[in-house]
Amino acid sequence: MLKLNKLTIICTFAFASILIFNNFEAISASENDSWSIIGTIVNGSDNLPLSDHLVILHVSLSDEIKEYSSKSDDEGVFSFENIKHPADSIIGISSIFNGVLYGKDLGILSDKHDEVKLIVYESTPDSSEISIATSTIMFTSIDRSQNTMWVLELYKLKNNSNQTFKPDPDKPMSIVRIALPNDYTDLMIDSDMIGVEFVAIDRGFGVLGNIYPGEHQLLFTYGIKYKDSDYNFKRNTQFDLGNLRIISENSINLVLEDFEYTSQKTEVNSKEYNLIEVNNIPKTKSMNIKFTNLPKPSLYDTGLNFVQNLNSGWLLLVLFLSLSTGLLIKVFLSRKSQV
């Protein structure tokens, strides 16, 4: 299954921080909790103020969300005057530019004493400036009884440009795609990317959403169903990969074929693991991680799995066939004794 990313934001149109700038005093309050908020919206692609542009203020109360709108002036300045809400209200701002939603979570109203600066960017369907800064593949454990190897992966996607990557809606395969082994199961995904969804595609999943300038984390876990004691984990990447780290338990035997590396030891939560690290892998090069001597289920495990995998319909069918066969044998023996 796919688990969509969960973001702690003040509403569906307010975001976690994209870029944070703390420069000027901008929010003031009077004794009757009447607030004034001022900020600037800037086009980060050319670093110029964005004039005559709509900005939305979101105020989250205990049981509802209030929204206020303001348009920026020639200097990109927007303001919200006489906003009457309790000091512990949670606030955020958002704006749409070139069809892409941008936003910023500003926290508690009374704690915010700096000018708000919202950065937006030009959009492009060109993904040539996107790379994978790091990819960490951790083989955490093996469930022998289920013939399943559990994997945790951390991707750091990096948009190296000053434009937001916006996939071409007429080209479905232009989205960011993550390849997975053919035999994967129980996929779960989380991410700090803003406003994205995930969809299953052939041999992996795709990211439905925009990739803003900067670095973004993508965490996903899944199991691999293997049949034999040997298994080949094959992977192609859509983008160039700056750094690959493969971490595995000491009991797992694996080699990364066609790469030069030195295996090391590392600790994760006070437990020792093997570490393979390789740098600068072009997107044209495939990786193949070869596993050997994977544990096989015992006869007891096989029998237990068979019973657990039978649904009630199959159990009823087996019971019916057993009773029918027994009845036929009884009738046959009875008739034979009468002859």
Residue 40 pLDDT: 96
Higher per-residue pLDDT: 60 or 302:
60
pLDDT over 60 (residue 309): no
pLDDT over 90 (residue 23): no
Q: How confident is the model at residue 112 (pLDDT cuts 50, 70, 90)?
A: low
Region 245-270: mean pLDDT is 89
Region 259-285: mean pLDDT is 90
| CATH class assigned to 27-120 | mainly beta
For domain 130-292, say whether CATH 3.30.70 is its number.
Answer: no
91-95, 205-209, 320-324: which has the minimum mean pLDDT? 320-324
Region 319-339: mean pLDDT is 61
Residue 323 pLDDT: 64
* Spatial contact of 150 and 65, defined as CB atoms under 8 Å apart: no
Region 207-212: mean pLDDT is 93
Burial of 290 (0-12, 13-18, 19+ CB in 10 A): middle
Region 99-105: mean pLDDT is 92
**DSSP 3-state assignment of 284?**
coil
DSSP class of residue 237 equals -
Higher per-residue pLDDT: 326 or 32:
326
Region 23-41: mean pLDDT is 64
pLDDT tens sequence across 137-166: 999 889 988 889 999 999 999 999 999 999
The rounded distance, in Å, linking the Cα atoms of 82 and 35 is: 5
pLDDT tens sequence across 3-16: 444 333 333 334 33
Higher per-residue pLDDT: 137 or 302:
137
* Spatial contact of 210 and 216, defined as CB atoms under 8 Å apart: no
DSSP class of residue 312 equals H
Computed over every residue of the chain, the mean pLDDT equals 82
Burial of 173 (0-12, 13-18, 19+ CB in 10 A): exposed
Q: How confident is the model at residue 91 (pLDDT cuts 50, 70, 90)?
A: very high
Q: How many residues does the chain have?
A: 339
**DSSP 3-state assignment of 252?**
coil
